[in-house]
Chains A and B, each alone.
Chain A
Amino acid sequence: MAELNPSQVAASPDASAERPHPPGDYDLVVVGSGPGGLQASYWLSHLGIAHAHLSADPGPGGMFRRFPIFQRLLSWTRPYAPYERATRYYESYDWNSLLAEEPENRSLMPEIMDGISEFPSRPEMERNLTLFAQKTGRAVRYGTRWTATRRDGERFVLETTDGEYRARHVVFAIGAAEPWKPSTPGIEAVPHYADTGPAGEYAGKRVFLVGKMNSGFELAEGLLPWARQIVLCSPRDAKLSVVTRSLVGIRARYLQPYEDHALGGGIYILNAAIERIEKHPDGWRVFTRATLGGADLTLDVDVVIAATGFGSPLGDLGDLGVATFNQGKLPVLTPYWESASVPGLYFAGTISQAMAGLKKHGVPSNSGAVQGARYNARVLAEHIAREHYGWTPPRPEVPATEVVSYLLSEATRGPELWHQRSYLARILSFDEHEGIRDEGILPLAWFVDAPGGDAVAMTIEHTAEGEIRPAVYVRREGKVEEHVMPSDPLLDFESGEHRKQLRSLLSGLPGFHA
């Protein structure tokens, strides 16, 4: 086990070093300077873990240096909220700022926004991340591309454009923004979403969009003032977030093309498999086969764009033994985002969505977005610190008389629980000798399957009907039982009824008394 090294940590965030972290031996290397990499590096430094930090990009921001194409995000920040900025509870209203201990480094996003929309623009988001990197002294070796990986005994060797880095542990925060296309015949010649040009290029054109996810609808919405005709096509029906009552499906702000389609306004939404795509001198011909009824169609269009999603640029990690799934786009991970097949390799940022957790009622975590991944990064850094660097979590004692109030307060306003529903939970342990201890925020999937003493996990879950409610997992004598609690019209879970139910659920746990 390596020791924490304060001197190295102090040297690590030396932003004045133009190109920090030259090739060489390090205990830990972080790859990537998007929100996931910056957030992971921040918490590792905060815990005293020295590390090299590399990025292929020329500056911070990751995918937000380029996307979304039409320059406005899907994640909102409410500058004015029931809680003061820079407080923990404000994080529920700010999906875009990264997390920090120091008040002056929190809630950076609302200070930058121009008030036009609650959804920041892409440049505002890039500025938010750049500011975080500057203010927190992230020392990143930019312009250093990771190119290959191999093992050398117990160490990993990362080959880069600057030379070799050797490390016991690597945190890959390389995003999930590598353009991906299916194997449809002819689609290889079709430009991807990432290659979309300025909207004016599509003036008067017939545009065929392959895909009916958010990226397809974003393009359709952006091209409404320009394109002559827009067709969105994929095999399954479009899901709408306002119907699923969750973040699953097309987000509300991209729904205008859907309404135009419903009103017969020159937008066509097809449920069809694409058999093949042919390039012709004057455009494209797309052959479709209906999947949910209707006719098979052959369409002649001027432009085809593949809005078919993204994968993670995992490079040669598969050759190293990293198991992947979803057409090789994502690594198979443990609840703590470690490769399930190659211990020592960790993943932060949007890749952390590869671990689905309990995914109750079909609603995924928000690990694929900043508002979820930022908490994962903190939990990951603490996990690495605990497992490999001898870090001891604080585990403050919770007076028995405050347990019910504390857990219900967390359920009502704890941002980790609200952003990472059914994924992260507040854990309290109950022990006859140690008393009641706050074990912190941990992955629920780990808690329910790991052995351990008597404990309680409080989380928030989202039902099929769109109801948001607390769920309590109680472990007694090694067996975990689930108990769901009622919702509330104002999402206030601190009512007398909730207190009474929770008291009853905790009854008999060591050290607990109402």
Chain B
Amino acid sequence: MNDTNRDIVDTLAGLTLFGDLSRPQLEAVAHTFDEQWFSEGQRILRQGFTGTGLYVILEGQASVRIDGVDRATLGKGDFFGDISILLGEPPVADVVALQPLRCLVLGGPDTEPFLNSYPRVIYRMLQSVARRLRNANQWRS
């Protein structure tokens, strides 16, 4: 885990969410987010708890769990916490680390200014959300 900041920038460069950013912009992103590490079984988002952040997974896997039932698995490059921040509502699911999980996290209040500074990240987020919506609709039909 003794990565240098430069390694984090390299990791970010390989994530779809940040794929359109220049190297200096990626360095700024690396300085804007905090790194957090979660042990297996640790809850990251808690269903019904306010004041959460935006998380981007760098390593490991997490489960999206609603009322104790696993609904989806998240992995490297996936992000979560976005819906709660955008809607200003508590998360409707727990997110639980399935294995040691390394994330970048941005506090909820910092998310809107961050996205305003990087419109291409908004576009990539919209693409991801659109995919989630499409998959949910396919599942329903």
Nearest chain-B residue to A236 (Cβ)?
A: B31
0/1 interface trace, chain A 179-192, chain B, CB 8 Å (1 if under): 00011000000000
A448 at the interface (CB under 8 A from B): yes
Tell me whether A318 and B2 are in contact (CB under 8 A).
yes
B127 at the interface (CB under 8 A from A): no
Tell me whether B32 and A236 are in contact (CB under 8 A).
yes
Q: Give the contacting residue for A482; candidates B4, B39, B50, B117; CB below 8 A.
A: B50
Interface centre among A327, A328, A340, A358 (most CB of B within 10 A): A327
The secondary structure that dominates the B interface is: mixed
B57 at the interface (CB under 8 A from A): no
Tell me whether A272 and B24 are in contact (CB under 8 A).
yes
A99 at the interface (CB under 8 A from B): no
Q: Give residues of chain A (259-280) contacting chain B, Cβ–Cβ below 8 Å.
A: 271-273
Q: Give residues of chain B (1-34) contacting chain A, Cβ–Cβ below 8 Å.
A: 1-6, 8, 23-25, 27-28, 30-32, 34
Q: Give the contacting residue for A327; candidates B3, B48, B106; CB below 8 A.
A: B3
A72 at the interface (CB under 8 A from B): no
Tell me whether A482 and B6 are in contact (CB under 8 A).
no
0/1 interface trace, chain B 35-59, chain A, CB 8 Å (1 if under): 1110100110010111111000000
Residues of B within 8 A of A290 (CB): 24
Q: Give the contacting residue for A360; candidates B51, B105, B117; CB below 8 A.
A: B51
B119 at the interface (CB under 8 A from A): no
A235 vs chain B, min Cβ distance (A): 4
Tell me whether A323 and B37 are in contact (CB under 8 A).
yes
Tell me whether A332 and B6 are in contact (CB under 8 A).
no
A324 at the interface (CB under 8 A from B): yes
Tell me whether B48 and A325 are in contact (CB under 8 A).
no
Q: Give the contacting residue for A182; candidates B2, B4, B25, B37; CB below 8 A.
A: B4
Q: Give residues of chain A (239-261) contacting chain B, Cβ–Cβ below 8 Å.
A: 244
Given the known interface contacts A236-B31, A325-B37, A326-B35, the answer about A289 and B24 at a Cβ–Cβ threshold of 8 Å is yes
B75 at the interface (CB under 8 A from A): no
Residues of B within 8 A of A359 (CB): 53, 105, 107
A322 vs chain B, min Cβ distance (A): 10
Q: Give the contacting residue for A362; candidates B4, B6, B31, B107; CB below 8 A.
A: B107
B108 at the interface (CB under 8 A from A): yes
Given the known interface contacts A235-B28, A289-B24, A461-B51, the answer about A183 and B35 at a Cβ–Cβ threshold of 8 Å is no
Given the known interface contacts A291-B25, A463-B51, the answer about A362 and B3 at a Cβ–Cβ threshold of 8 Å is no
Q: How far is the CA of A109 from the CA of B105 in the complex (A)?
A: 36
Tell me whether B6 and A183 are in contact (CB under 8 A).
yes
Q: Give residues of chain A (329-365) contacting chain B, Cβ–Cβ below 8 Å.
A: 332, 334, 340-341, 356, 358-363
Interface centre among A183, A273, A323, A340 (most CB of B within 10 A): A273
Can you add 16 more A-B contacts, CB < 8 Å, to A244-B109, A291-B24? Answer: A183-B6, A272-B24, A273-B27, A325-B102, A327-B2, A327-B3, A327-B35, A328-B1, A332-B37, A341-B39, A356-B34, A356-B36, A358-B46, A361-B107, A361-B108, A362-B51
Q: Show the binding face of A for B, using Cβ within 8 Å.
A: 182-183, 234-236, 244, 271-273, 289-292, 318, 323-328, 332, 334, 340-341, 356, 358-363, 422, 448-449, 461, 463-464, 481-482, 484
Across the A-B interface, the 4 shortest Cβ-Cβ residue pairs: A362-B107, A360-B51, A464-B109, A328-B2
